[in-house]
Amino acid sequence: YTILSKVHSDRNVYPSAGVLFVHVLEREYFKGEFPPYPKPGEISNDPITFNTNLMGYPDRPGWLRYIQRTPYSDGVLYGSPTVENVGKPTIIEITAYNRRTFETARHNLIINIMSAEVDFPLPYQAEFFIRNMNVEEMLASEVLGDFLGAVKNVWQPERLNAINITSALDRGGRVPLPINDMKEGVYVMVGADVPFSSCLREVENPQNQLRCSQEMEPVITCDKKFRTQFHIDWCKISLVDNTKQVSTFQEVIRGEGILPDGGEYKPPSDTLKSRDYYSDFLITLAVPSAIALVLFLILAYIMCCRREGVEKRNMQTPDIQLVHHSAIQKSTKELRDMSKNREIAWPLSTLPVFHPVTGEIVPALHTDSYDNTSMPLMQTQQ
């Protein structure tokens, strides 16, 4: 059901189209490509990572995937070859990086995709979603063998193959929280040559469909045969019958949706004619500028030439109101003038009669030290 091989230099492998292909890149093999550990007697455990790409291209083919969790775990190449690549050797360059010494080692893996044994294999395909597994755990031969054994016990086919394995993260799933060793989940597609069993068809019952819509576990009689090792989400199972889909592919018939033949294509001339952009300039710059200038003149006339002024305001104001306003302005001016003359000698009536410190009587006011014009009306009482 799967091809499991260890890495070797320029190794040739022969997977079949439509059958799961697994290739393990072992760190132990590549350790011999790097210098020994500096301290004698200690076991080398260098972190090693891998880079895989199609020869002459920066990435792998579309059907081939690669995963390596940590630099201290093995890398795995896996995928399901397609029929279009049959007979075309695919050379994968494998580059190992030693993260301690920063050295590299390169090997080639030659994948020769073979055609299937029969013309129409695996017409019935079922895809299961296993919640308690990661993709690298499911790719292990013993774990995948246990799962296929449980499926064969439920389905009872004559031929059963693992077609493809996909991580839930590649299907848009979220990275699980690091709580209770939660797994990301994995999709496993298997194919058989017999119709689906009644147990697998139980998912299509209206009762189970209702429970799935309410996010409840459906009632599946054969779930106990998987529950001991695999927790399957039966609401996400997909059943595909390729025997009913073969007749749906028909030849395309030309109708109204097909454009008529327009004749031979005639490309434009190599010589380009000169174009006058004067009209475009007038439309984009001159016209908006002229409109803006007119608006500016109108606004300037309103703001500068249409002002009423003080004379027009006084003409429209009653005389009594102007008299009152003029009297208020004169009184305000007199008060301001009086406030400016505060430095003039204080009136004698406000001067103290006795000295504030010695208590002696203040001498009489000398008339020669004050201006007679600013003499207050009230005199000091002796």
**Residue 313 class from Cβ within 10 Å (0-12 exposed, 13-18 middle, 19+ buried)?**
exposed
Same domain for 189 and 214, yes or no, is yes
Same domain for 26 and 131, yes or no, is no
Indicate the number of domains in the chain.
2
CB atoms closer than 10 angstroms to residue 225: 16
Give the pairing of strands 3-6 and 21-25.
parallel
Q: What CATH number is given to the structural domain containing 225?
A: 3.30.70
Are 233 and 129 a contacting pair, CB within 8 Å?
yes
Q: In a structure prediction context, what are the per-residue pLDDT tens digits for the chain, which is 382 residues long?
A: 444 444 445 788 888 888 889 999 888 888 877 877 666 666 678 889 999 999 988 889 888 999 998 999 999 999 988 888 788 888 999 999 988 888 888 889 999 888 876 545 678 899 999 988 888 888 888 899 999 999 998 888 888 888 889 988 888 888 887 777 788 889 999 988 888 888 888 888 889 899 988 888 888 888 888 888 899 999 999 888 887 754 434 555 555 556 666 677 777 777 777 888 888 888 888 889 999 999 999 999 888 877 766 777 777 778 888 788 889 999 999 888 888 776 555 555 555 555 656 666 655 554 444 444 454 444 455 4
Q: What CATH number is given to the structural domain containing 20?
A: 2.60.40.10
Q: State how far the Cα of 74 lies from the Cα of 111, in Å rounded to an integer.
A: 20
Same domain for 228 and 157, yes or no, is yes
The token pair that represents 178 in the structure block: 């690091």
Q: State how far the Cα of 197 lies from the Cα of 192, in Å rounded to an integer.
A: 11
DSSP letter for each residue of 357-377: TT-PBPPPPPGGGS-GGG--S
Same domain for 105 and 126, yes or no, is no
Q: By residue range, what is the domain housing residue 103?
A: 4-111
